[in-house]
Structure 1
Amino acid sequence: MKHPLHMLCRPHDLLLAHALLRGLLVGLLITPSWAAVPAKPVATAVPPLAALQMSVKNWVAQSKKVTIEQVSLAPLDARVKVLACREPLVVDQPFASDETIRVRCSQPVWQQFVRVSVAVKAPVTFVSARTLPPAEPAKRWVLVASMPLQRGMMLNETHVQRAQVDTPVMPVNVLEEASEVLHAEVVRDVRPGVPLRSHDIRPAVLVKRGQMVLLSVGQAQGFQISARVEALQDGRFGEQIKLKNRDSGRELSGRVQGPNQVAGL
C-alpha cells in the first residue's frame, strides 16, 4: 500500500494542489465590497442651526406658557459652527437670568448658549358691567300738566308745559305739543308734572244745541259777513252741525271753529 504523501507527489496531483493553494491566497487578498465601504453619515432633514433654534423656541414656549411666535432668539456668533447632533438636544436654563438658555448635545459632545426674549402680549381686560358707570337714560320732550287738571276742564296752553322725561318710564300715546290740547277737555284728573296721553283728553263740546252762535261767512282778512244763528246740534271742534236763522227760519250748515263760533259752508 502506498503512502498518501506519495500520492500527492504525482505530477498531476501537484498541479491540482498548486491551483487550490493559489486560489486560496487570492481569496484572502480580496476584501468584500461591503466590508471596505465605510458607513455614510445619515443626512438630517433639518439643518443643525435650525434644529437648535426650534428646540430652544419650543422649550421656552412650553416653560413660559407662551406661543412660539412670542419667542425671539438673538443671532449666534458667526464664528460658531453648530454641529449636527445624533441624539436629541437637551435644553435647560443654567443661570438665574431668563435670557440665557443652554443647548447640549451628547454625541458629538458640544454645548451652546443662546439669548432669548419673550414678547409679552397686552392682557385682554374684561370690564364687568358692574364696574361701568350707569348709562344716562334717554330723554324725550313731552307734554305734562302744569297744574292740577280736573275732569271736564277745558284746556288751553296755560294748563300744560313741555318737559324732558326718561324714555323707560314714558307712557303710551304721550302728547308732545301744546296745540294737541286746544279745544279739548280732560276726561280724568291729572296731577302736575304727569305726562298727558291721548286718551286723557277728548275734543270738547264748543257749541251746544239751542245756543246762539256766531256764524261767519267769507275770509277773515277780506270780505266777511257775520250773523247770529241758533245751533240745532251739539258740536265739537271741526265738526259740521246744522244751524237756523231765527229771523228767516232758514236752516244752514256750518263747521265748529271755537266756543260758540261756526264757519259757514
Structure 2
Amino acid sequence: MPLCRHYIAANDCRIVSIASPQTKDHTNIMAKLCLTLIIFFQIISVVKFAYSANEASIPPSKKILVAQIKEWVAREKSIDEEDIKVAALDRRFIVPDCPHKFDISFPFSSDTQQVRVNCAKIGWKAFIRVSIEGKKMYYVYKDDFPKGHRLSRQDIELLDQTRVGHNSGLIKDITAIKDLILKRSVSTGQLVRRQHLSQVVEVFVLKQDKLAGELLTDDDYESSMHPIAGASAAQKFPKRLLKNALIARSLPAGYVLQEKDLKQRHRVLVAQETLTRGRLLSPLNARVEDYYGDLLPDAMLSTNGIEYLEVIRTIQAGSPLRVSDVQVASLIIKGDTVNFSVARGSLLITVSMEALESGKLGEQVVLLNPESGEKVRAVVSGIRSATGL
C-alpha cells in the first residue's frame, strides 16, 4: 500500500501549496485500484452485518425446525449436517411452536429435494425444499471386493467432489445400492458406478449330487444371489416350490436348479384301480394321496361327495382324477328297486317300489308300488333311495 500513501500525501501537499512531484500515470492507476478495494471491503462488511442481523432475527421455532430437518436428512442420507441447506428463511414462512419433535419424511421415494414436516399435536404441516451442497457427493469402495459381492452401506464411503474426474454413472445416493451386487471385481478407493452393479435374483444351488426320484431336503441346496441378467427364466422361481419336491432327473453338485427339475408334491384324488366308464366313485376306488408332478387346474383334491359321481371315461389306476373325468351319477336307474321313505310325524315308513324313470341326486322321479299299482312322485336322496314330496 505504499503507492496509496504516496497518492494521498501528494494530494494533501498540493492542497496546502507544498511543492511535490506530479503523480505518474501508474500512480493514478494504483490510486483507482485502492479506491476499488476500499469499496469492496465496505460492501462485504455490510453484507456480513445484514446476514448476521437476518440470522439473529430467525424465530426459535424456525431454528428448531431447521436443526431437526438437517439432523434427519443427514441420518437418512449418511452425510454431514453442514452439507445440507434448508430453504426455510423466508420471513413469510411462519413456523409454530410444536410441543413435540416434528415428524419429518420424504413425500416421495424418488424425490429427496423436499421434505414433509408435520406437527400432529397442533395439526400443522408443510413441504420444505432441501439441498445437499457439500463437496462430498460421490462414493468410493472402502475395500477390495470380488465379483458377486452384495454391497452394503458399510462397504462404501463418501468422496470429496474435487477429486472426481469422469462423472458418468457415479452413485450419489447411498440408497441406490440396495439389493445390488457387483458385476465385476473392484478395488479400494475406486469410484462406485452404476456400471459396476446389477440387480439380483435368488437362485438355488445343489450342494451334492441328486438322483432322479430322490426327495429334495433343505440340506441338499443353498441359496445364492446372482445378477438378474445372468439367471435364466427357468431358474427364477419361488423357494416354496422346493418344499417336499422330488428330483425329476439326476443332477450334479453345483447345479443351479430350474423349475422343470422339480416334481412338486400335491395332495390329489387318485384312482386306486382302473375305473371304467359309468363306474361310481367311492372311498374304496378313489383316495387322496401324494402326487408329484404338474398339478392340473381341475384336479380333484377331496373325497367329499364322490359317492354321487361316476367316471365318464376309463381312468387308469394311479392316475389323478379330474373334474372333467366325472359327472353327477344317476343314483336311480329305470327299473331299479327303490327304498321309498315317507315321514309321518315321528314315524318313518319305508317301502320298496319300482323306478319308472332314472334320476340324479335331488331330481324328482316316478315310482310304482308293485302291490297296489299306485304311482307316486319322489325326490332322489341317495343310491336307489328316495323320499316323499
The TM-score normalised by the length of structure 1 is: 0.53
**Equivalent in the alignment of 1:148:** 274
Superposition map of 1:91-106 within 5 A? none
**Equivalent in the alignment of 1:248:** 372
Pick from 52, 57, 60 the counterpart of residue 163 of structure 2.
Answer: 60
Is 1:186 the counterpart of 2:311 in the alignment? yes
- Report deviation, 1:237: 2.6
Pick from 302, 307, 321 the counterpart of residue 196 of structure 1.
Answer: 321
The amino acid that maps onto 1:62 is G
SS in 2 for 1:188: coil
Is the contact between residue 206 and residue 237 of structure 1 (CA under 8 Å) also seen in structure 2? yes
SS in 1 for 2:278: coil
**Equivalent in the alignment of 1:160:** 286
**Equivalent in the alignment of 1:175:** 300
The CA distance in 2 between the partners of 1:229 and 1:68, in whole Å, is 88
The CA distance in 1 between the partners of 2:170 and 2:323, in whole Å, is 65
C-alpha offsets along residues 206-264 of structure 1, whole Å, 9 cap, x if unaligned? 32223332111128x95200112221111223221001223332211111222321112
Pick from 233, 250, 258 the counterpart of residue 357 of structure 2.
Answer: 233
- Report deviation, 1:163: 3.3
Pick from 337, 341, 361 the counterpart of residue 212 of structure 1.
Answer: 337
SS in 1 for 2:299: coil
The CA distance in 1 between the partners of 2:373 and 2:165, in whole Å, is 109
The CA distance in 1 between the partners of 2:297 and 2:347, in whole Å, is 45
The amino acid that maps onto 2:364 is Q
Q: How many residues align?
A: 183
C-alpha offsets along residues 57-106 of structure 1, whole Å, 9 cap, x if unaligned? 55632289996979xxxxxxxxxxxxxxxxxxxxxxxxxxxxxxxxxxxx
The CA distance in 2 between the partners of 1:182 and 1:211, in whole Å, is 18
Distance change in 2, residues 1:118/1:253 (3 Å): same
Is 1:259 the counterpart of 2:362 in the alignment? no
SS in 2 for 1:38: helix
The CA distance in 1 between the partners of 2:336 and 2:26, in whole Å, is 137
**Equivalent in the alignment of 1:30:** 22
The CA distance in 2 between the partners of 1:210 and 1:165, in whole Å, is 40
The CA distance in 2 between the partners of 1:256 and 1:165, in whole Å, is 35
The CA distance in 2 between the partners of 1:150 and 1:69, in whole Å, is 71
Larger radius of gyration: 1
Is the contact between residue 181 and residue 201 of structure 1 (CA under 8 Å) also seen in structure 2? no
- Report deviation, 1:186: 1.5
Is the contact between residue 335 and residue 357 of structure 2 (CA under 8 Å) also seen in structure 1? yes
Q: Report percent identity of matched pairs.
A: 23
Greater relative contact order (CA < 8 Å, ≥ 6 in sequence): 1
| CA RMSD in angstroms, aligned pairs only | 4.4
The CA distance in 2 between the partners of 1:202 and 1:232, in whole Å, is 22
The TM-score normalised by the length of structure 2 is: 0.38
**Equivalent in the alignment of 2:125:** none
SS in 1 for 2:379: strand
C-alpha offsets along residues 25-54 of structure 1, whole Å, 9 cap, x if unaligned? x999322565345274998xxxxxxxxx99
C-alpha offsets along residues 129-171 of structure 1, whole Å, 9 cap, x if unaligned? 259686453765332212222222221112112235568x322
Distance change in 2, residues 1:253/1:66 (3 Å): closer
- Report deviation, 1:119: 8.1
Distance change in 2, residues 1:60/1:155 (3 Å): same
Structure 1, gaps ≥5 residues long: 1-25, 44-52, 71-116
C-alpha offsets along residues 102-143 of structure 1, whole Å, 9 cap, x if unaligned? xxxxxxxxxxxxxxx958659645423259686453765332
The amino acid that maps onto 2:231 is A
Structure 2, gaps ≥5 residues long: 1-17, 38-134, 137-158, 174-187, 201-225, 242-263
Is the contact between residue 380 and residue 387 of structure 2 (CA under 8 Å) also seen in structure 1? yes
